[in-house]
Structures are given as structure tokens and as C-alpha cells.
């Protein structure tokens, strides 16, 4: 009786450990340069997109596509780093990159306003004016599910900061390459608040999108290579289901993808982490007919 209970406990703990490990799987996201609808200039759309990429990487919850890889795919599709106005085009780029979520958006407000306040300055009471400066940054963010082309979330991320200082004290120089200096300006603080809200929106949207990997090579010895590896939270011993993708189903009214016919073809078990965590080697546990491009899922 005790032996049976011990075996049952081992199975329960093993299942809990496996479930907890699977929760650590990281989903992939890419960020397109924001459009500058505020008319501020200074490449503010790209600057805020870069800030968002940095914050997503530091969050440690996602695999963030490198800018060079994103640029390459956009150029191949004859698209720029910004201005992907349709969910279909954004979804296509996202699928080519292998990401679950693609982030687009625009900077609708960005800048400072000064208010003159009369009064004395200092203990000696010399007359003068003080400027109350207020900075505001607003990013309208759109999150596209690359599997369906659906905009799963559209939110306005707002950030504000204010300061009181003597006249002519302003922070007009923006240096995204020097975040320490930039973060001390009220514009930098307003931008940071808006970008942090964008990170929260992305985390919330990702929670409702299933994790997915992909078969990248099939060997004759009953093993396959998949992506990602440990970089995406995949660990040795994890088991995954593999699906083949059939014909895509397109809504005739909207032109959006409704998904595709899928067929469960088998299961694999990870036996080795490779390519510095970018991929993993797995053995086929069951099933046949595996091909490059097949989808890897938790179940």
C-alpha cells in the first residue's frame, strides 16, 4: 500500500514539475518601428520602438526578434520598417519570422508644454518667473496575432512627467543610445512610462496566444531538430505534440486567415539543447510523416 502511494506521489510531483516547466516557455515577438504621427521628428518612432525592444528583452519573458532579422524580412517583402497598415501584411511578416505576436503602432503625442509662473526666486526675493514644464508621450499600440492576422489588442499607452525649473532649462536633445541621461529628462520619463505600459499590454495579449515551435530538420535515425531551444525555455525531457499544417482557411469577406486544417501526426521528446539554445534535438516518441515546417505545440 505504502509502495503504491509512493509511486503515485512520484507521478504527481513529476506531472507538477513538467507543468511548471512548460509555463516557462517563451513566446516570440517582433516590434515594427512606430509611425510618427505627432510630427516630432528626430526618428522618435524608431527610438520608442527601440526602447520597447530593450524593455521586452529585460523583462525576460519573451524571445524578441533582432532588428537585423526583422529588417531582412521586411526588405524581402518590399516593406519598410514602419507603416504596415494592414493586419494581413503584418501577419505575413510575423509568420516568416516565426513569431506569435507582431507589434505595430504610432506615436500620437510627444513633447513638452511650458507654463510661466510669476513669483520671487530664492531667499532674497529677487523677482522672476518659473516655468512649470510638463512632458507627455502617447503610443497607440496594435498587437497582431500572426496565426490569424487578427488585431488581438489595440490600446493607448500614455506617459506623463512634470518639473519646475528656471527659464531656459529644457531637454531638447534626445539620445536613445544613452538611456541613463535620457531617463533623467522629463521627456524620457514620460516615454518610459508609456513604453512600460506597452510591455504590460503585450504580456496580457501573449497570455491568450498558444506557444508554438517548429520542426527545422528531420533525420533518418528517428530524431528531429526543432526551434527554439533553451533560449525559449525548452528543456531536455520535455515532450511536445507535432501537427502538420493543411490548407489555410480564408474568410471571403475580410480576407483574413481563420486558421488552417491541422492534423496531429505524433509526439517528440527533447534530448539535447543545441545552437546555443536557439534549437533543440528531439527523438520521435510516436507518429510518422514529420516534415520541416511542422508545428510543435504543448498539446
Q: Can you give the pLDDT at residue 130?
A: 55
Cα gap 195→52, rounded to integer Å: 6
Domain range list for the chain: 26-206, 213-297
pTM: 0.76
CA-based nearest residue to 222, from 170, 182, 268? 268
In this prediction, residues 39-56 reach a mean pLDDT of 88
Tell me what percent of the residues of the chain surpass a pLDDT of 90.
45
Q: Can you give the pLDDT at residue 203?
A: 94
CA-based nearest residue to 214, from 227, 223, 205? 227
pLDDT for 179 beyond 80 = no
Q: What's the CATH class of domain 213-297?
A: mainly beta
Cα gap 37→111, rounded to integer Å: 12
All cell numbers assigned to 148:
490569424
Query: Are 34 and 107 in contact, with CB atoms under 8 Å apart?
Result: yes
CATH of 26-206, one of 3.10.450.710, 2.60.40.10, 3.40.50.10610, 3.10.450.750: 3.40.50.10610
Q: Can you give the pLDDT at residue 257?
A: 64
Query: In which band, very low, low, confident or very high, does the pLDDT at 13 lie, cut at 50, 70 and 90?
Result: very low
Residue found under cell 525649473: 165
Q: Can you give the pLDDT at residue 70?
A: 81
Q: Give the list of residues 6+ apart from residue 255 with CB closer than 8 angstroms, or none.
A: 88
Mean pLDDT lowest among 92-101, 174-183, 268-277: 174-183
Q: Which residue has the higher pLDDT, 89 or 66?
A: 66
- In order of 25, 43, 224, the CA distances from 207 in angstroms are 11, 31, 28
All cell numbers assigned to 191:
516615454
Amino acid at each position: 500500500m505504502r509502495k503504491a502511494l509512493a509511486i503515485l506521489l512520484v507521478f504527481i510531483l513529476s506531472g507538477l514539475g513538467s507543468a511548471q516547466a512548460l509555463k516557462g516557455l517563451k513566446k516570440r515577438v517582433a516590434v515594427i518601428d512606430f509611425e510618427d504621427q505627432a510630427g516630432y521628428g528626430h526618428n522618435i518612432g524608431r527610438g520608442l520602438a527601440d526602447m520597447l525592444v530593450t524593455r521586452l528583452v529585460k523583462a525576460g519573458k519573451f524571445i524578441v526578434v533582432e532588428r537585423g532579422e526583422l529588417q531582412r524580412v521586411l526588405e524581402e517583402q518590399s516593406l519598410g520598417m514602419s507603416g504596415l497598415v494592414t493586419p494581413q501584411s503584418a501577419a505575413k511578416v510575423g509568420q516568416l519570422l516565426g513569431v506569435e505576436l507582431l507589434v505595430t503602432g504610432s506615436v500620437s503625442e510627444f513633447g513638452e508644454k511650458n507654463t510661466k509662473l510669476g513669483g520671487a526666486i530664492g531667499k532674497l526675493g529677487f523677482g522672476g518667473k518659473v516655468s512649470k514644464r510638463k512632458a507627455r508621450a502617447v503610443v497607440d499600440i496594435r498587437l497582431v496575432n500572426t496565426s490569424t492576422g487578427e488585431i488581438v489588442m489595440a490600446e493607448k499607452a500614455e506617459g506623463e512627467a512634470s518639473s519646475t525649473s528656471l527659464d531656459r532649462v529644457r531637454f531638447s536633445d534626445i539620445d536613445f543610445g544613452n538611456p541613463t541621461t535620457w531617463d533623467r529628462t522629463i521627456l524620457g520619463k514620460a516615454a518610459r512610462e508609456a513604453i512600460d505600459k506597452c510591455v504590460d499590454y503585450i504580456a496580457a495579449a501573449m497570455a491568450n496566444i498558444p506557444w508554438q515551435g517548429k520542426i527545422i530538420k528531420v533525420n533518418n535515425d528517428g530524431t528531429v531538430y526543432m526551434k527554439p531551444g533553451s533560449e525559449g525555455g525548452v528543456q531536455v525531457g520535455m515532450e511536445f505534440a507535432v501537427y502538420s499544417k493543411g490548407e489555410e482557411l480564408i474568410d471571403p469577406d475580410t480576407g483574413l486567415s481563420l486558421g488552417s486544417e491541422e492534423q496531429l501526426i505524433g509526439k517528440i521528446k527533447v534530448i539535447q539543447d543545441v545552437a546555443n539554445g536557439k534549437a533543440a534535438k528531439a527523438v520521435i516518441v510516436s507518429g510518422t510523416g514529420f516534415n520541416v515546417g511542422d508545428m510543435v505545440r504543448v498539446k
